[in-house]
Structure 1
Amino acid sequence: MDNLSKSEIETALAARLPSYTIACTLHADGTLSAVLSGPETDHFAITGIVRAHYRGPEAIARLANEILREMVMSRQGLRSSRLQALPENSVRSDRPGS
C-alpha cells in the first residue's frame, strides 16, 4: 500500500483531533512534520515521523494517539520543570541570616 498523501494525512488527523488545525510537511527523506494549532496559543510540532510506519487509515489512528501522548508528556514535563525552577529573587534557607 502506498503512503498517504499530505492532504490525506492532514484530513485524517484533523478528524481525530478536531480542536486542532493540522499542517503537515512531507520531506524528501520520507519523513513527515506536523504542526498542530489549537485554541488560542496552544501549538505543538512534531518532526521526523517516518511515513512508511503509518500506511493506511488504521495507522493514522495510531499516529494520532501517539501525537496525543507526546502532547500530554510534553505538557507534564513543562509543568514539572516550572514547579522545580526557583525564582531568581527567592530567599534560600542556606543563606546566612535567612
Structure 2
Amino acid sequence: METLNKSQIEAALAARLPSYRITCTLHADGTLSAMLSSPETDHFAITGIVRAHYNGEQAIARLANEILREMVLSRQGLKNSRLHTPPDHSDSVKGLDR
C-alpha cells in the first residue's frame, strides 16, 4: 500500500481530530512530525512518527488514536506535577532567625 502524502495525512487526521488544526512536516528520513493547535491556544507536537507504519485509512485512524492517548497522558502528567506543591521551607527560614 502506498504511503500517504502530507496533505492526505493532514486531512485524515483533521477529520478524526476536528477541534484541532493539524500541520504536518515530512522529513527526509521517512518520519513525520505533527503539530496540533486548538482555538484555546492548546498545542501539542509529536515527532518521529514513522510514516511507513501508517499506510491507509485504518492506520491513520490508529495514529489519531495514539496521538489522542499521548495527549491525555501528557495532560495527566502536567496536571499531576501542578498538584505537587513545593515543600514548605518556612520552618528552616524561621530556624535561621533564632
Q: Normalised by the size of structure 2, how large is the TM-score?
A: 0.88
How much has 1:97 moved relative to structure 2? 5.1
2:67 paired residue number: 67
The AA in structure 2 aligned to 1:22 is I
Across the aligned residues of Structure 1 and Structure 2, the Cα RMSD in angstroms comes to 1.8
Change (3 A) 1:35 1:94: same
Are 2:82 and 1:95 aligned?
no
1:59 and 1:27 map into 2 onto residues whose CA distance is: 19
Per-residue CA deviations over 1:29-86 (Å, capped at 9, x if unaligned) read 0000000001221000000000000011110000000000000000000111111241
1:18 and 1:63 map into 2 onto residues whose CA distance is: 15
2:89 and 2:17 map into 1 onto residues whose CA distance is: 44
Long gaps (5+) in structure 2: none
Determine helix, strand or coil for the equivalent of 2:69: helix
Determine helix, strand or coil for the equivalent of 1:95: helix
1:65 and 1:91 map into 2 onto residues whose CA distance is: 41
1:6 and 1:85 map into 2 onto residues whose CA distance is: 43
Determine helix, strand or coil for the equivalent of 2:92: coil
Are 2:88 and 1:83 aligned?
no
Question: 1 or 2, which has the higher helix percentage?
Answer: 2
The AA in structure 2 aligned to 1:71 is M
1:96 and 1:38 map into 2 onto residues whose CA distance is: 44
